Amino acid sequence: MSVEAFIEYLSLEKKYAKHTVIAYEKDIKDFSNFFKEEFKEENIKDVTYNEIRSWIIYLVEQGISNRSINRKIASLKSYYSFLLKSQQITFSPLAKHKALKVEKDVIVPISENEMYQVLQAIEFDSDFEGLRDKLLLEMLYATGIRRAELIALQLSDFNFQNATVKVLGKRNKERIVPLLPSLKLPITEYLDTRANLEIIIDDNYFFLTNSGKRLYETLVYRVINKYLSKVSSKVKKSPHVLRHSFATHLLNQGADLNAVKELLGHSSLASTQVYTHSSIAELKKAHTKAHPRNKE
């Protein structure tokens, strides 16, 4: 019963996204199954750290990455924190656990020139899908919103008079993001073709498939990957790379870190600072080029 109560707590009180809750539930069930089979015990409330450590060793032997293992353990840690908070246990078995070391992924942003090429040099079809796909690229790069946030956009979220859009972020936190003037024409063209779809099922949603349903994550990924692949040989060409490029390009142009934080919908500056490595590279380049001592 405690696992069900924890899942309900994540959904209703913490207001985690549905896919996040599903991931937590799966991680806990995976451990529970291992615990029952390996130690012939039913109640994971009474587990010890040594038993959890056995699971970690098992996952390593299965070839699971340290990053994935850390995520699974983080799910367990949250579960035991919940049990502590609800006074179902008196001590968390993961109180002194240290996460496994992982190498940090360095996301290389799409360059400003590459973004110019994909938005200006590539010819998109003038039908519904062509106009929608170009607008997907424009919106993600011009606003820095997440893929899930883009999919969730509704017609009522747009305020064309003020040139803003209301975005529902993580944990149902709303923020207002400005719309660049360059978005006005592609939005107008898209909405005109959207209105002529034969069938519209999910009418409230802004972005639709050609069958009139709301977008789904793999479709957005395929669209972004397809067009970025035409102009860039970088390994990662996902919607998140456009968010990364948005933040990096703003910082390169001198935008205030706090302003970028608000635009991205981050709760702390620490989350935004991961995007600064590229801007620091630009600063180093400018410093090396301009400093008098470098010319001696």
**CATH number of domain containing 28:** 1.10.150
How many domains would you assign to the chain? 2
Give 74: exposed, middle or buried? Use CB within 10 Å, 0-12, 13-18, 19+: middle
3-state secondary structure of 126: coil
Examine the residue annotation and report whether 240 is marked as an active-site residue of this protein.
yes
pLDDT at 30 exceeding the cut of 80: yes
Looking at residues 171-183, what average pLDDT do you find? Answer: 92
User: pTM of the prediction?
Assistant: 0.65
pLDDT digits (tens, 9 = 90+) for 189-231: 999 999 999 999 999 999 999 999 999 999 999 999 999 998 8
What residue numbers bound the domain in which 157 lies?
A: 112-287
Residue 161 located in a structural domain: yes
Task: Give me the pLDDT at residue 270, please.
Answer: 75
Q: How would residue 175 be classed by pLDDT, with cut points 50, 70 and 90? A: very high
Domain co-membership, 141 together with 274: yes
The set of residues, in sequence order, having a beta carbon less than 8 Å from that of 105 and lying 6+ positions away, is none
Domain co-membership, 34 together with 121: no
Task: Give me the pLDDT at residue 273, please.
Answer: 74
Task: Give me the pLDDT at residue 179, please.
Answer: 95
Residue 16 located in a structural domain: yes
CB 275 within 8 A of CB 247: yes
Looking at residues 236-250, what average pLDDT do you find? Answer: 88
Question: Which one of the listed residues 132, 214, 237, 266 is annotated catalytic?
Answer: 266
Domain co-membership, 253 together with 210: yes
Residue 104 located in a structural domain: no
Q: How would residue 285 be classed by pLDDT, with cut points 50, 70 and 90? A: low
Domain co-membership, 56 together with 151: no
Residue 106 located in a structural domain: no
Domain co-membership, 141 together with 13: no
Domain co-membership, 214 together with 136: yes
pLDDT at 25 exceeding the cut of 50: yes
Examine the residue annotation and report whether 146 is marked as an active-site residue of this protein.
yes
pLDDT digits (tens, 9 = 90+) for 130-165: 999 999 999 999 999 999 999 999 999 999 999 999
Domain-ending residue, one of 85, 102, 126: 85
Q: How would residue 45 be classed by pLDDT, with cut points 50, 70 and 90? A: confident
What whole-number distance in Å separates Cα of residue 31 and Cα of residue 48?
Answer: 13
Domain co-membership, 134 together with 259: yes
Q: What percent of the chain has pLDDT over 90?
A: 60
Chain centroid to CA 97: 27
Domain-ending residue, one of 85, 101, 121: 85
Q: What angle do CA 280, 269, 253 make, to 5 degrees?
A: 40
Question: Which one of the listed residues 71, 175, 236, 240 is annotated catalytic?
Answer: 240
Question: Which one of the listed residues 170, 234, 236, 277 is annotated catalytic?
Answer: 170
Question: Which one of the listed residues 134, 146, 194, 214 is annotated catalytic?
Answer: 146
Task: Give me the pLDDT at residue 255, please.
Answer: 87
Question: Which one of the listed residues 77, 243, 244, 249 is annotated catalytic?
Answer: 243
pLDDT digits (tens, 9 = 90+) for 74-101: 999 999 999 999 999 999 999 999 988 8
Domain co-membership, 192 together with 254: yes
Examine the residue annotation and report whether 29 is marked as an active-site residue of this protein.
no
176 forms beta bridges with 166
Residue 181 located in a structural domain: yes
Domain-ending residue, one of 85, 104, 125: 85
CB 25 within 8 A of CB 101: no
DSSP 159: E
Domain co-membership, 80 together with 130: no
Q: How would residue 180 be classed by pLDDT, with cut points 50, 70 and 90? A: very high
Residue 102 located in a structural domain: no
**CATH number of domain containing 180:** 1.10.443.10
Task: Give me the pLDDT at residue 194, please.
Answer: 97
What whole-number distance in Å separates Cα of residue 48 and Cα of residue 217?
Answer: 38
What whole-number distance in Å separates Cα of residue 174 and Cα of residue 159?
Answer: 14
Identify the weakest region by mean pLDDT among 261-265, 275-279, 283-287: 283-287
Domain co-membership, 78 together with 116: no
Domain co-membership, 190 together with 240: yes
- Average predicted confidence (pLDDT) for the chain: 88
Examine the residue annotation and report whether 275 is marked as an active-site residue of this protein.
yes
Residue 247 located in a structural domain: yes
| Residue located via tokens 């090396």 | 288
Examine the residue annotation and report whether 67 is marked as an active-site residue of this protein.
no
pLDDT at 171 exceeding the cut of 90: no
Task: Give me the pLDDT at residue 287, please.
Answer: 47
Residue 209 located in a structural domain: yes
Domain co-membership, 67 together with 137: no
